[in-house]
Amino acid sequence: MSKTTILVTGGAGFIGSNYIRWLLEADPAVSVINLDALTYAGNLENLAGLENHPRYGFLRGDICDGSKLDAQLPARPDEIVHFAAESHVDRSIEDPSAFLRTNVLGTQAILDLGRRLKVRRMVHVSTDEVYGSLGPKDAAFTESHSLRPNSPYAASKASSDLLARAAFKTHHFPVVITRCSNNYGPYQFPEKLIPLMIANALEGKSLPVYGDGKNVRDWIHVQDHARAVDLVRTRGQDGEVYNIGGRSERENIEVVSIILRSLGKPDSLIRYVQDRPGHDRRYAIDDTKIHAQLGFVPAVSFEEGLKATVRWYQDHRTWWERVRSGDYQAYYARMYGGRLSSS
Ligand code: NAD
Ligand code: DAU
């Protein structure tokens, strides 16, 4: 069996950690090096149990560190899956600087690393937010929709997409871009809509709904996103962009109401608050391309996926309580004793 070593950036975050768990299970020929700076969003408890896995290694490092990383990597990767980013829109509105550094300069540094190491494939994990906002009757985003980002986060991701494109066009670097809609599922940091609402409801706190609550997002379970990213890694075409969606458009208020109902909590916990500045009204994904070319169809229905996710947060209260208290940040020191690499 031929072995593949994959450098996963941002693997201690929400989607990266779900991807690593999924990948190690799905493909026994794959080894993973998880490169993560452990910002506030990086949590090694998301990967608890993998510390001694024979095909997994962790390297604490900053993607912006460029050529310093070459010598630190415990093995030479064959491929890269690039998740590392600053990912929360509200934080980008408060202060975009970390977004420009990590999402723009950091992506360029990973593209350069991949070229130096002559990897055979890099997947750049991007977002539907690069396309901007849709009206209620507009057609869903296709891959050829123009880039019209509206938040500093979205602008930084659009910039990173353009850098990936430039690396392909200029250097024939084998990079593929994915643009996915809103993920939900286990291990999502409780600053994002779904885990925030579940955790607040479980604690009897109010649920802050921005504006009129009628903004629409297309929800995809993180396991489906992980599978789609891997289809693109293994079967996508260099230089191409693939949209990934969940075929589940919902208004925010509908999502919040389902969460309250499934927890048996009253609607009176909902508090309408001031809208997010520049709040995108609607995202919707046209997934014709990934469906036709790679056969991808999301497997988890929103109703089932949300029910399972609510249950997961009920059953893993310690996980999110430790995130909220900040205790999760001590886990790295305890598990790894401050060493840079576990492999
Ligand atoms: P996250 O915020 O949960 O995790 C980001 C991870 O990147 C963290 O582990 C963090 O420590 C790490 N990181 C940040 N800066 C770094 C740096 N300079 N060097 C190394 N590591 C660094 O994010 P997420 O929700 O898992 O998103 C992962 C990727 O998927 C992002 O690129 C995001 O833009 C994209 N995406 C997210 C969604 C979503 O709904 N969450 C949807 C589509 C695309
Ligand atoms: O579409 C993909 C994007 O989805 C990813 O690229 C981003 O990384 C990810 O954070 C997410 O962005 P959103 O801004 O859509 O997600 P968020 O969970 O922050 O908000 C979802 C919707 O819920 C949005 O319309 C804002 C609203 N909201 C959010 C929060 C945190 C509220 O009404 N109240 C809240 O407290």
Residue whose entry in the numeric block shows the structure tokens 């929360």 = 88
Q: Do residues 13 and 83 lie in contact, with contact meaning Cβ atoms separated by under 8 Å?
A: yes
Q: 341 pLDDT exceeds 60?
A: no
The residues carrying an active-site annotation are: 128-129, 153
How high does pLDDT run on average in the chain?
96
Helix/strand/coil for 28: coil
d(CA 211, CA 93): 16
Q: Which atom of ligand 1 is nearest to the CA of 106?
A: 18
**Distance, C-alpha 43 to centroid of its chain:** 13
Tell me the pLDDT tens digit for each residue of 281-324: 999 999 999 999 999 999 999 999 999 999 999 999 999 999 99
Rounded to whole angstroms, what are the CA distances from 242 to 50, 128, 140, 238?
30, 10, 14, 11
Q: Do residues 143 and 289 lie in contact, with contact meaning Cβ atoms separated by under 8 Å?
A: yes
Tell me the Cα Rg of the chain.
Answer: 19
Q: 332 pLDDT exceeds 90?
A: no
Other Cβ atoms within 10 Å of 251 Cβ, number: 15
Q: pLDDT value at position 337?
A: 62
Q: 136 pLDDT exceeds 90?
A: yes
Q: 13 pLDDT exceeds 60?
A: yes
- Residue from 58, 46, 39 nearest 19 by CA: 46
Q: pLDDT value at position 340?
A: 40
Residue whose entry in the numeric block shows the structure tokens 């693997």 = 11
Tell me the pLDDT tens digit for each residue of 48-90: 999 999 999 999 999 999 899 999 999 999 999 999 999 999 9
Q: Which atom of ligand 2 is nearest to the CA of 151?
A: 14
The full set of domain ranges for the chain reads 4-187+221-247+280-299+327-336
pLDDT higher for 66 or 27?
Answer: 27
Q: Which atom of ligand 2 is nearest to the CA of 88?
A: 10
Tell me the pLDDT tens digit for each residue of 155-205: 999 999 999 999 999 999 999 999 999 999 999 999 999 999 999 999 999
Q: pLDDT value at position 2?
A: 75
Ligand 1 site, residue 180, Cβ cutoff 6 A: yes
Ligand 1 site, residue 57, Cβ cutoff 6 A: no
Smallest-distance ligand from the CA of 284: 2
> If you write DSSP's letter for every residue of 89-155 in order, what string do you get?
HHHHHH--HHHIIIIIIIHHHHHHHHHHTT-SEEEEEEEGGGG----TTSPPBPTTSPP---SHHHH
Q: What is the CATH number of domain 4-187+221-247+280-299+327-336?
A: 3.40.50.720
Query: DSSP class of residue 27?
Result: -
Ramachandran quadrant class, 94 (left: phi over 0; alpha: psi -120 to 50; beta: rest): alpha
Residue type at 298 in one-letter notation = P
Tell me the pLDDT tens digit for each residue of 31-56: 999 999 999 999 999 999 999 999 99
Q: pLDDT value at position 342?
A: 38
Q: pLDDT value at position 1?
A: 62
For the chain, give the longest Cα–Cα distance.
Answer: 57
What separation, in Å, do the N-terminal and C-terminal C-alpha atoms of the chain show?
22
Smallest-distance ligand from the CA of 211: 2
- HEC sequence for 241-305: EEEECCCCEEEHHHHHHHHHHHHCCCHHHEEEECCCCCCCCECCECCHHHHHHHCCCCCCCHHHH
Ligand 2 atom 34, closest CA? 209
Would the pTM of this model clear 0.85, i.e. be above it?
Answer: yes
Q: Give residues with Cβ within 8 angstroms of 179, minimum separation 6.
A: 126, 127, 128, 130, 131, 141, 143, 161, 241, 242, 243, 244, 285
Ligand 1 site, residue 38, Cβ cutoff 6 A: yes
Q: pLDDT value at position 329?
A: 87
Tell me the pLDDT tens digit for each residue of 252-281: 999 999 999 999 999 999 999 999 999 999
Ligand 2 atom 35, closest CA? 193
> Quick one: average pLDDT of 134-140?
98
Q: Do residues 16 and 84 lie in contact, with contact meaning Cβ atoms separated by under 8 Å?
A: yes
The token pair that represents 292 in the structure block: 């036709």
Phi, psi of 273 (to 5 degrees): -125, 175
Other Cβ atoms within 10 Å of 324 Cβ, number: 14
Strands 249-251 and 216-221: antiparallel
d(CA 277, CA 112): 35
Q: pLDDT value at position 331?
A: 75
Q: How confident is the model at residue 333 (pLDDT cuts 50, 70, 90)?
A: confident
Residue type at 217 in one-letter notation = R
Ligand 1 site, residue 341, Cβ cutoff 6 A: no
